[in-house]
Amino acid sequence: MPVSPARDAALDILLRVEQGGFASELLHSERLDRLSPQDRGLATELVMGVLRWRSRLDDAIADLSSQKLSKLDPEVLEPLRLAAYQIGFLAKIPAHAAVNDAVELVKRKKKKSAAPFVNAVLRKLLKKKDLVEPLLAPGPKTIPELSALYAHPLWLVDRWAAQFGLESTDQICNYNQHVPPTAIHLADTSVETELTNAGVTLSPGRLLTNARIVTNGDITKTAAFAEGRVQIQDEASQLVALLAGRGQRMLDCCAAPGGKTAILAERNPQSEIVATELHPHRAEALRRRLRSRANVTVITVDFVQAELPGEFDRILADVPCSGTGTLARNPEIKWRLSTADLADLHRRQVAILRAALAKLRPGGRLLYSTCSLEPEENKEVIREAAAGFSLQPIADDLAALRNEGLLIADPQQLTEGEFLRILPGRFSTDGFFAAVLTR
């Protein structure tokens, strides 16, 4: 029997995510280029929906299943999740089509013997849709209720509640369960008219005057995007790049994918900018992205071991992190991450920050940043690695940016003590942390 191309593609991507792939990359792969725009949109909705709501889907399936979910092969469990998401969350999709395609997909994945089981579970779910969408009474929620309602691991919700309070944790989890806005950075605001003529509808940014929110149209199909005159970049990420400041010799030590590097080059056209990247394929993509920036040199190297000549007066250390501030865009992270991972990341981040500080010339400034909410990757890294350097109140830098496009009148809305702290959704952005160190 024929199967919806969107469901077929969505299953392939979910199986690859289960093996360690990242949905954001796979959803922009050649696999989806062969689909019609409508099917591509549905495949994206299915993949991201299943990943966002996975624990809610699993609880519903487990309640109706004669087998433990841990015993099911991925080729059986993922079609069940796909269908359960459509039954519970996508009212416009005929439920029988979701069930029939799930059964057929299981057969296509050489699990024909499991097809009757899948059919039976989903037929039961059709009669008990409330299992997928449990309702909570109005009013304050407990930590377990937030975990169940918003499909987040209990340990993450528990630590966020301890750090930010229940109300903010509710807002973070809620934001993570919705499609985040697509923000762009305009190197030249005159390109806005060109984008409008190309069928892209824009609204003003919430943090920055040079940011726009795409409300309709496909920015990636425009000449301005192809030529690098406009780039997709979360507004909080754009702000971090601005906070890196201006200098004569600058270093971006963990540069890929290059959005922040591009802003550094745009603001410092006469400066020498060195961008390092560990992985060759990401370094090559970085070179392509920055090909029009003659003042940027991309070096493929393990930064911690690198022997770069000379010192730098400005350094951006936007280090690899858990990404817990980006779960709206990368929901698979919450199902993979563990506290052991945070300890490993902390050690790596400390090593990178120490290596970066060693390359900072006297009087220079370093901006350390992550898109993580976890203290192990933020304050604790600064505390361990920055002995002998001065921590500067980032509110001063934010106040200075009021003259360069920052829209927030009170910088204290963006700070936590001496640090930048933006929680997911507070300004419809990802979550970010940053600190300024001087020598």
Would you name the residues annotated as active-site residues?
371
Six-digit token string for 412: 């204290």
Please provide the size of the chain in residues.
Answer: 439
DSSP β-bridge partners for residue 420: 415, 434
The SS3 call for residue 134 is coil
**Where do the H-state alpha helices sit in 211-368?**
223-226, 235-243, 259-267, 280-289, 333-336, 339-357
Dihedral, 163, 166, 167, 170 alpha carbons, nearest 10 = 100
In contact, 58 and 69? CB cutoff 8 Å:
yes
- Give the CA angle between residues 113, 118, 121 to the nearest 5°: 140
DSSP β-bridge partners for residue 421: 433
Contacts made by residues 294-302, CB under 8 angstroms, sequence distance 24+: 295/265, 295/268, 295/269, 295/270, 295/271, 296/261, 296/265, 297/272, 297/273, 298/255, 299/274, 299/275, 300/276, 301/276, 301/277, 302/278
DSSP β-bridge partners for residue 249: 272
Contacts of 121 (CB under 8 A, 6+ apart): 61, 64, 65, 80
In contact, 240 and 260? CB cutoff 8 Å:
yes
Going by C-alpha positions, the residue among 370, 316, 315 that lies closest to residue 348 is 370
In contact, 174 and 161? CB cutoff 8 Å:
no
Question: Within its chain, how far is the Cα of 22 from the centroid?
Answer: 10
Q: How many CB atoms lie within 10 A of CB 14?
A: 25
DSSP, res 326: G
Cα separation, 235 vs 185, whole angstroms: 8
Judged on CB neighbours under 10 Å (0-12, 13-18, 19+), 395 is middle
Dihedral, 61, 67, 73, 75 alpha carbons, nearest 10 = -40
